[in-house]
Chains A and B, each alone.
Chain A
Amino acid sequence: MPHDHDHDHHDNDLDEMTALTRALETVLVEKGLVDPAAVDAIIETYSNDVGPRNGASVVARAWTDPVFADFLATDATAAIASMGFTGRQGEHMRALFNGAGVHNLVVCTLCSCYPWTVLGLPPVWYKSPPYRSRSVRDPRSVLAEFGTILPEDTEIRVWDSTAELRYLVIPERPAGTEGWDAERLAALVSRDAMIGTALADAP
C-alpha cells in the first residue's frame, strides 16, 4: 500500500494539509462557528492535562490499594472517576487485569476508539491499518514487534472496541517492587502497557 512506513506518516501531505486546515479554520471563525481560543484550549488539554500519566496513576493505585482494585474491577467508570478522570472517550470504562496465563490487548479495528480520559490521544500506529488489521488475527506477531514475547501457553485476549466501552489494561505488577509507593510504581507503567502491547517496565 502507498502508506509509507519508513518515515513520518504524512510528510507528503504537509503543505496541502496546512493550507486546507488554515482555510477551513478561517472560514469557520468568520462564520462564528469556531472560536480559535477554544481550539487552543482543546490542544492545551490534550498536550498538558490528559495523557497516559492519568492511566498510570490508576494502575499504580490498583497495585497498592486492594479496595481500589476491587472497585476498578467491578465499576471501572466510577473508580476512575473517583480519581478525577472523566469525560470524552472515557464515558464507559472497563479495566482488564492481566494475570497468570492471561494477557489483554486492546484495538479498534473499525476506527480509533481509545480511552482518552486515561491515555490521552492515541499514537499514530494505533489508528493505522497495520495494527488495526493484524492485532485481531495474529496478536503474537504484533506483540513481538513491540518486543513483547509471552509464554506460549499464555492466552491472549484481544478486545475490539466496537461500542462505547473503553478499555484500560492493568498490567501485572513487576517483581522487585515490594514496598514501592504508588507514585514510584506509576513511573513503570507505560502507555503501551495499558494498551497491552507491552508489559510494565522492570524496576
Chain B
Amino acid sequence: MNGPHDLGGRMGFGPIAPEADEPLFHAEWEARALGIVLCCGALGYWTIDESRHARESIAPADYLRFPYYRIWLTALIELLQRYGELTARELVDGHALTPGKRPEKCLRAQGVAGVLSKGSPTRRTIEDAPRLGIGARVRVRNLQPTGHIRVPGYLRDHVGVIESQCGAHVFPDSNAVHQGEQPQHLYTVAFDGAQVWGQGEGVSIRADLWESYLEAV
C-alpha cells in the first residue's frame, strides 16, 4: 500500500540525531510492549507479513509521530481485535470480560529461548527454476496495491541488475492476507543511485525483490 511507512526518499524529517549511550528501552512500557508483541505472535493468528501490514495501515499522521513501540502496540491491538481476542471495552476496563480462545498456545517462559533461537525461516523449496539470471536487467513493475507489498515506492519503474539469486521465499503479499505462502524466487537487485534520484554520484542501492515484482527488459 502507498502508506506512511514507505519512507525511502521522503524529505523534511530533519536530523537523525543519534543518541549517545542510548538505552535499550526508553521506558518500562517499551520493554513490556516488545515482550507482549512477541508473545502474541506465538498465538499463531497472524504472520509477520500481516503484522507489518497492520502497522502500515496506521493513519499516516499517527504513524509518523508515534514512537516505534507505539506503532507495534497499536497494530497489535488491531490484530487482537481482528481475531476476537480483545475488545475495546476490555482495554478501557483493563480487565478481561471473556476468556481467551487460544490459551493452549500461550508462550510460557520456558519456551522463550526455543522460540527465539528457532525464528521463522522463510526460505522454501519450489519446483520452478529462477526465471531471471544474474546480470539480467530488470524493471520494477509499477505495482500499487492497497494490500501489503515489499516494493519501496522509490524503486517503482526503475531498471536494475540482478546481482544474486536468493532462493525461493514466502511471498509477503499473499502471506499477509491468509492466501498462503506462495513462495517464489527472490533476487537482490542493484540500482544506480543517480538513475533513481536524478542526482548523486557514487551511490548504489540494493533491494531484495520477489520475481513477480520484476520484468526483464
Binding site for B on A (CB under 8 A): 1-3, 5, 8-10, 13-14, 17-18, 20-28, 30-35, 37-43, 45-47, 50, 86-92, 109-112, 117, 120-121, 123-125, 127-134, 136-140, 142, 145-146, 152-165, 192, 197
Cβ-defined partner of B208 (8 Å) among A2, A8, A25, A161? A161
Contacts of B177 in A (CB 8 A): none
Instruction: Give the distance to chain B from A167, nearest Cβ to Cβ, in Å.
Output: 9
B137 interfacial by beta-carbon distance below 8 Å = no
Instruction: Tell me if A158 and B40 are in contact (CB < 8 A).
Output: no
Instruction: Tell me if A38 and B208 are in contact (CB < 8 A).
Output: no
Instruction: Tell me if B120 and A47 are in contact (CB < 8 A).
Output: no
How many A-B contacts if CB must be within 8 Å?
304
Instruction: Tell me if A155 and B107 are in contact (CB < 8 A).
Output: no
Contacts of A110 in B (CB 8 A): 5-8, 52, 56, 150, 152
Q: Please give 6 more A-B residue pairs, beta carbons under 8 A apart, in addition to A14-B29, A32-B103, A152-B202.
A: A3-B64, A32-B100, A33-B103, A88-B119, A136-B193, A155-B203
Instruction: Tell me if A129 and B17 are in contact (CB < 8 A).
Output: no
Cβ-defined partner of B7 (8 Å) among A42, A89, A129? A129
Given A27-B91, A30-B95, A42-B38, A133 and B8 touching (CB < 8 A)? yes
Instruction: Tell me if B67 and A27 are in contact (CB < 8 A).
Output: no
Instruction: Tell me if B210 and A17 are in contact (CB < 8 A).
Output: no
Instruction: Tell me if B16 and A28 are in contact (CB < 8 A).
Output: no
In Å, the complex CA distance between A145 and B19 comes to: 12
Instruction: Tell me if A130 and B15 are in contact (CB < 8 A).
Output: yes
Instruction: Sample 5 A-B pairs with CB under 8 A, ordered by A number.
Output: A45-B113, A137-B193, A162-B208, A163-B186, A165-B166
Instruction: Tell me if A163 and B29 are in contact (CB < 8 A).
Output: no
Instruction: Tell me if B152 and A162 are in contact (CB < 8 A).
Output: yes
Instruction: Tell me if A132 and B8 are in contact (CB < 8 A).
Output: yes
CB interface residues, B 89-135, toward A, < 8 Å: 90-96, 98-100, 102-103, 105-109, 111-113, 115-123
